Amino acid sequence: MTMPAPSPPRFPFAEVTTLAASGPGHFHAEVNDQWTIGGKPNGGYLLALLGRAAVFVSQHGHVIAASAHYLRSPETGPVAIEAEVLRTGRAASHVRARMCQDGRACVEALVTTSQLDGATAPYWDYGSPEVSQVAYEDCQRLASRSPSGMRVAIMEQIEVRLEPETSGFTTGVPSGRGELRGWLSLPNGESFDPTSLLFAVDAFPPATFDIEFAGWVPTLELTVYVRALPMPGPVRVLQRAQLIDAQRVDESCFIWDHRGRLVAHATQLAGIRLG
């Protein structure tokens, strides 16, 4: 007789992105050691921390555009965050935010904030990818081990569910299309908002896993546009690779709420040991 494995403790998004103000535009935060991949903090999670600081100092409540350049990965534990308003406009504010650890800059981002209105509807969306129709229940939850056996602790916190057609890499049979589709939930089913969408666009494994497994794919740059307020509930995700050239890959990520509205779009440039 074996005992069932205990459920790992859950660290909700709101908790792991808590900021403590330490002066005007200065904050302390604690990078959670369970929101990690092989012990390294997730890049979207770090950007969400900067986004939260940007909203805090700005007169507008929602991030609509954020661009992060990753200088060096911080260790988990305490970090200092600074956010400075560059301009406050009527419709939007512009903020520069940066994360430091032990006095060394780790991530710097430019963030535009505005006020999103829950009542709008898309005017034209024929340029967006088609929304998949595969249901949440028909997608399999991704385990917290990478194909190389590395612990991906964050997968015990969030729930990434992959459509069967795009989960071949988990059994060593990538499709070659460079595309992962599925669903994402936060711990305890917490609702998404513009700040957690900054994380959502980097929550899936690299789409290159569906081409060839190549270990660590460190993000160099991540740009996110938040296009609408998402409905409560899990979000649908499409992560797509575009070009691998000279040991770099660029990927796009599309996020729809469960009613099928495109709520966020991101691109990232990452390093990869291919090409």
Coil, helix or strand at residue 196: helix
Out of 28, 144, 250, 258, name the contact with a copy of itself by CB under 8 A.
250
Are 180 and 204 within 8 A, CB to CB?
yes
Are 216 and 38 within 8 A, CB to CB?
yes
- Contact between 3 and a copy of itself by CB under 8 A: the answer reads no
Out of 25, 221, 231, 258, name the contact with a copy of itself by CB under 8 A.
221
Nearest one of 162, 231, 135 to 192, comparing CA atoms: 231
Out of 34, 128, 170, 191, name the contact with a copy of itself by CB under 8 A.
128
- Interacting residues with a copy of itself between 172 and 191 (CB under 8 A): 176-179
Both structure tokens of 192: 């998404």
| Residue given tokens 């979000």 in the structure block | 235
- Contact between 40 and a copy of itself by CB under 8 A: the answer reads no
- Contact between 122 and a copy of itself by CB under 8 A: the answer reads yes
Q: How many Cβ atoms sit within 10 Å of the Cβ of residue 143?
A: 11
Nearer to a copy of itself, 16 or 235 (CB): 235
Nearer to a copy of itself, 18 or 88 (CB): 88
- Contact between 269 and a copy of itself by CB under 8 A: the answer reads yes
Q: What is the Cα Rg of the chain in Å?
A: 18
Are 201 and 221 within 8 A, CB to CB?
no
What is the spatial distance between Cα 12 and Cα 158, in angstroms, rounded to a whole number?
A: 9
- Contact between 123 and a copy of itself by CB under 8 A: the answer reads yes
Coil, helix or strand at residue 91: coil
182 has which bridge partners?
162, 237
| Shortest Å, Cβ 271 to a copy of itself | 8
What is the spatial distance between Cα 43 and Cα 200, in angstroms, rounded to a whole number?
A: 10
| Shortest Å, Cβ 110 to a copy of itself | 4
- Contact between 1 and a copy of itself by CB under 8 A: the answer reads no
Beta carbons within 8 Å of 8's beta carbon, 6+ residues apart? 34, 156, 157
- Contact between 126 and a copy of itself by CB under 8 A: the answer reads yes
Residue range at the interface with a copy of itself (CB under 8 A); choices 14-22, 121-129, 143-151, 183-191: 121-129
Binding site for a copy of itself (CB under 8 A): 64-65, 67-69, 71-72, 86-87, 91-92, 94, 96, 105, 108-112, 116-117, 120-128, 176-179, 207, 211-212, 220-221, 223, 225, 227-228, 240-246, 248, 250, 262, 265, 267, 269, 271, 274-275
